[in-house]
Structure 1
């Protein structure tokens, strides 16, 4: 069977995602669609707006055959780490192709630029840029790459992710054939468009404003119905801010400096900003040219989840859901997998999944669902037959 991979968050799943998924199956002639999905917390550095269980259900209803969670230790990271871990999972799952959205839409460009970015010459230039200029990693990467080539506009967020997918595919010799679908709207747009497509950012804004009717034409019917019936609070960075304030105002500096992304004295800026009453004011007080808002949010979540620098997390295949066809495919490759396959957390190495369990527990606390704190241990994959 021919398997195509997609890397998603579905935060929430909307019409653009559904179109992307349908095109992935059609353009790659796929028998199986494998989704690698961020779990309780997403790459932009905040809790997902709804649970990973509901988003898994959406993915299966939309047409995915297998849904695996990208372990949280890799999901809440900058683009290169996020992409590398996702590609490693797809490679281990014997995936034939990767289908991703981008502002460019030309997969050939991504392959060309990835070969350039993998060169020792580029990597040395990037190190110099980070040393000589006070830039964030993302800004330094963009500036360095722009000095080498104008083949790809890496100021665009999905182009950046696409490039890192292509780069990870190159470095890992994953052998994935790359396909890219040109995006028709702005990833960061905060207003829903008049047509049937809107960004996830715009939809989250409407949902958090309790304006559910405004998204009705922008999402598949099954998503809208489930949101109508969703009884749990919708989450955002603001939901986590009280917990973060407590940590920043009560922890000693040495407790913060051991955290993965806490470097260059950013802990001092974060601690000062924790006196701000709202999450919005906190982000305004911490965001600078060097520290982007996404960097600050990711660092904040890593503090809450205790991502320590000394840890060496192992990638693994946490199965969230499958169709009957997906189950059949997994059975054919199961003995060839190199990475640990986790279908029931209670049977897995607790060291392997400790961060994912912590993330699920924190997510339930943010929901106010304290009765479910042990649920992550007994959770089994969702079957969509």
Structure 2
């Protein structure tokens, strides 16, 4: 069976995602679609607006055959770490192709640019740029790449991720065939009126404003029906802010500086900003040319989830859901897997999954759902047969 991988958040799943999934199957001639999905917290540095359990159900209803969770220790990270971990999972699952959306849409350009960016000369130039200029890693990367080639615009968010997928594919010798679908709208756009393919950013904004009817034509019917019946609160970065304020205003300095992304004295800026009453004002007080909003939010989530600099987290295959065909595929490759396969968390090393247990507990705490605080231990994959 030919397997194609997609790397998703479905936060929420919308018509553009459905089209992307359908094109992935069609263009790559896939028998199996494997989704690597962020769980309770996402790469932009905030809780997913909807639970991972419901988003897994959407993924299966949309046409995915297997859904695996990207462990939170890698999901709430900058693009290179995020992409590398996701590609590692797809490689281990014997995936043949990776299909991703981008502003560029030309997979060949990602492959050639990745070869350039994998060179020792590029890496040395990047280090010099970071040392000599007060730029964020992303800005330094963009500037360095522009000095080597103008073939790919990596100021665009999906192009950045696409390039890091291609780099991970190159460095890990994953041998994934790369395919890219050109995006028809802006990833950050908050306009949901232009066409049927509104961005997830725009849809989250409407949902948080209690404007559910406004998204009806932008999402599949099964998504809309489940949103109408969704009982839990919709979550955002603002939901986490009271907890973050407490941590920033009460933790000892050495506790903060031990956190993975807390570098360059950023803890002092965060502490001062924590005097602000709202999450919006906190971000205004912390975001600079060097520190993007996404970087600040990711750092905040890493503080809340206690990502320690000294930890050496392992990647693993957390199975969230599968169809009958997905189950059959997994059975054929199961003995060849090198990464741990986790279907019931209570049956594996707790050290391996500790961060995802913490993330799940925190997510349920944000929902106000105390009854589910330990639900992760006994969770089983969703079967969509």
Return the alpha-carbon distance in structure 2 between the equivalents of residues 344 and 126 of structure 1: 42
> Residue 360 of structure 2 aligns with which residue?
360
Alignment of 1:172-183 (within 5 A): 172-183=172-183
Alignment of 1:329-348 (within 5 A): 329-348=329-348
Does 2:149 correspond to 1:145?
Answer: no
> Structure 2 unaligned runs (5+)?
none
Q: Structure 1 residue 191: deviation in Å?
A: 1.2
Q: Secondary structure at the match of 1:230?
A: coil
> Residue 199 of structure 1 aligns with which residue?
199
Return the alpha-carbon distance in structure 1 between the equivalents of residues 295 and 91 of structure 2: 28
What TM-score results when the alignment is normalised by the length of structure 2?
Answer: 1.00
Return the alpha-carbon distance in structure 1 between the equivalents of residues 267 and 279 of structure 2: 16
Alignment of 1:4-23 (within 5 A): 4-23=4-23
> Residue 116 of structure 1 aligns with which residue?
116
> Residue 98 of structure 2 aligns with which residue?
98
Return the alpha-carbon distance in structure 2 between the equivalents of residues 75 and 205 of structure 1: 22
RMSD over aligned CA atoms reads 0.4
Q: Deviations over 1:169-223 (max 9, x none)?
A: 0000000000000000000001103321100000000000000000000000000
Moved more, 188-197 or 1-10: 188-197
Return the alpha-carbon distance in structure 2 between the equivalents of residues 93 and 205 of structure 1: 35
> Residue 38 of structure 2 aligns with which residue?
38
> Residue 86 of structure 1 aligns with which residue?
86
> Residue 186 of structure 1 aligns with which residue?
186
What TM-score results when the alignment is normalised by the length of structure 1?
Answer: 1.00
Return the alpha-carbon distance in structure 2 between the equivalents of residues 141 and 55 of structure 1: 32
Return the alpha-carbon distance in structure 2 between the equivalents of residues 97 and 145 of structure 1: 26
Return the alpha-carbon distance in structure 2 between the equivalents of residues 249 and 281 of structure 1: 16
> Residue 303 of structure 1 aligns with which residue?
303
Return the alpha-carbon distance in structure 1 between the equivalents of residues 274 and 177 of structure 2: 46
Return the alpha-carbon distance in structure 2 between the equivalents of residues 323 and 164 of structure 1: 29
> Residue 214 of structure 1 aligns with which residue?
214
Return the alpha-carbon distance in structure 2 between the equivalents of residues 374 and 200 of structure 1: 29
> Residue 242 of structure 1 aligns with which residue?
242
> Residue 264 of structure 1 aligns with which residue?
264
> Residue 24 of structure 1 aligns with which residue?
24
Q: Secondary structure at the match of 1:50?
A: coil
Q: Secondary structure at the match of 1:300?
A: helix
Q: Secondary structure at the match of 1:185?
A: coil
Return the alpha-carbon distance in structure 2 between the equivalents of residues 33 and 52 of structure 1: 18
Return the alpha-carbon distance in structure 2 between the equivalents of residues 53 and 19 of structure 1: 22
User: Between Structure 1 and Structure 2, how many residues are aligned?
Assistant: 385
Return the alpha-carbon distance in structure 2 between the equivalents of residues 153 and 97 of structure 1: 23
